[in-house]
Structure 1
Amino acid sequence: MANQRDLLDVDWNRIPAPVDDGAATHLIGAKIPSIFLIATDGRGIDLASLQGRTVVFAYPRTGEPGKPSPVDDWDMIPGARGCTPQTCSFRDLFADLRAAGADHVFGLSTQDTAYQREMADRLHLPFAVLSDQTLALVRGMKLPTMQVADMTLIKRLAWISDNGRIAHVLYPVFPPDRNGPEVLAWLKANPPR
């Protein structure tokens, strides 16, 4: 398998964009199920019980610079490439997201917590990343997924919930590095009540 290049230097014109397959339409207005997920900061988080406004951005899997991609044609799978740019967009806008009403911000993937913790430390994230390694939340919410190299991965999306109920969903997300600004724009246009 080919080693991953610089994870932030991506020409989005050369990467196939995902299409809206309707796999997230059921999420708007849905109540998040009560499922505890382990966070990179060691906490157990139940998204259903969080009070206030929560932003969750989900992605297939983050890579490590210089390490092999899960499959040789990873970049050509629509929606696969861009987990690090997406995460960095939320990192760079974290203070703005909080100022615009986000009480909580989380990343989410099906990778294990140890893998996520390395990434969170390397990227200096000011928020925790949640592991759904057992796919409990994926199944409970019927999140859109894709199968790659015998792995079930979450298709890239973001949602904003108020007191455990989803108010807005961004899906599909492309290019990933614009996801943070898109969420921020929605928060500013839709202040919490």
Structure 2
Amino acid sequence: MTEKLTPGDVAPDFTLPTADGGQLALKSLLGRKVVLYAYPAAMTPGCTKQACDFRDSLASLKAQGYEVVGISPDKPEKLAKFVERDAITFPLVSDVDKSVLDAYAAYGEKMNYGKVSMGVIRSTFVIDEEGKIEHAFYNVKATGHVAKLRRDLGLD
């Protein structure tokens, strides 16, 4: 597993397929602040709650200059169903081989129901306009995370 990112680190660049069949490159968002959040699996209860919280906060986050991008190991076809089912209004990117998740230290050993397993570590990264990590939050909770993030960023 890659070492956890810390403020000041350069955010690992990526170009990944999106739910709408396109591609998203992190470098295309330079000049804007980005909230990149890693989640285990589309259309599961916790991930749905988190995505809907981001969706519902998107207008106010954008008003403060933030773009939101979700990343998971789901295939683009599953992400497209998630977007359609839950009216997700921000990009979801597919990292099937988990190389980008690994680069962000958001894939590795985790504890789930008392058992150690390999998987996506629910994490959120705030990337500044120059492509550097401003905040790296690991092992976040799905429920209430967006509200806490907003407080941590001084938006509420």
Q: TM-score, normalised by structure 2?
A: 0.81
Task: Kindly state the Cα deviation for residue 27 of structure 1 after the two structures are TM-superposed.
Answer: 3.7
- Counterparts of 1:149-164 in structure 2, within 5 Å, are 153-162=119-128, 163-164=130-131
**Counterparts of 1:187 and 1:130 in 2: how far apart (Å)?**
24
**Counterparts of 1:41 and 1:121 in 2: how far apart (Å)?**
10
SS at match of 1:82: helix
Corresponding residue number in structure 2 for 1:17: none
Q: 2:106·2:123 contact (CA, 8 Å) conserved in 1?
A: no
Corresponding residue number in structure 2 for 1:122: 85
Change (3 A) 1:24 1:122: farther
Task: Kindly state the Cα deviation for residue 95 of structure 1 after the two structures are TM-superposed.
Answer: 0.6
Larger radius of gyration: 1
* RMSD of Structure 2 on Structure 1 (CA): 2.4
Change (3 A) 1:38 1:48: same
Corresponding residue number in structure 1 for 2:152: 186
Corresponding residue number in structure 2 for 1:68: none
Q: 1:57·1:159 contact (CA, 8 Å) conserved in 2?
A: yes
Which one of 129, 132, 136 corresponds to residue 169 of structure 1?
A: 136
Q: TM-score, normalised by structure 1?
A: 0.67
Letter in 1 for 2:13: S
Letter in 1 for 2:7: I
Change (3 A) 1:171 1:34: closer
Q: 2:34·2:127 contact (CA, 8 Å) conserved in 1?
A: yes
Question: Could you list the runs of 5+ residues in structure 2 that have no partner in the other structure?
Answer: none
Change (3 A) 1:152 1:116: farther
Corresponding residue number in structure 2 for 1:60: 40
- Counterparts of 1:38-77 in structure 2, within 5 Å, are 38-51=17-30, 52-63=32-43
Q: Which runs of 4+ in 1 moved over 6 A?
A: none
Residue 34 in structure 1 maps to residue 13 in structure 2: yes
Structure ranking higher in strand proportion: 2
Letter in 2 for 1:96: S
What whole-Å deviation, never above 9, does each CA across 1:97-130 have from its counterpart, x for those lacking one?
112220x211110111100110011000110111
Letter in 2 for 1:173: V
Task: Kindly state the Cα deviation for residue 179 of structure 1 after the two structures are TM-superposed.
Answer: 1.4
Q: 2:38·2:106 contact (CA, 8 Å) conserved in 1?
A: no
Corresponding residue number in structure 1 for 2:97: 134
Corresponding residue number in structure 2 for 1:87: 51
Task: Kindly state the Cα deviation for residue 40 of structure 1 after the two structures are TM-superposed.
Answer: 1.3
Question: Could you list the runs of 5+ residues in structure 1 that have no partner in the other structure?
Answer: 1-22, 65-80
What whole-Å deviation, never above 9, does each CA across 1:15-63 have from its counterpart, x for those lacking one?
xxxxxxxx87434322122321111133311224422100111111123
Change (3 A) 1:169 1:141: closer
**Counterparts of 1:55 and 1:172 in 2: how far apart (Å)?**
16
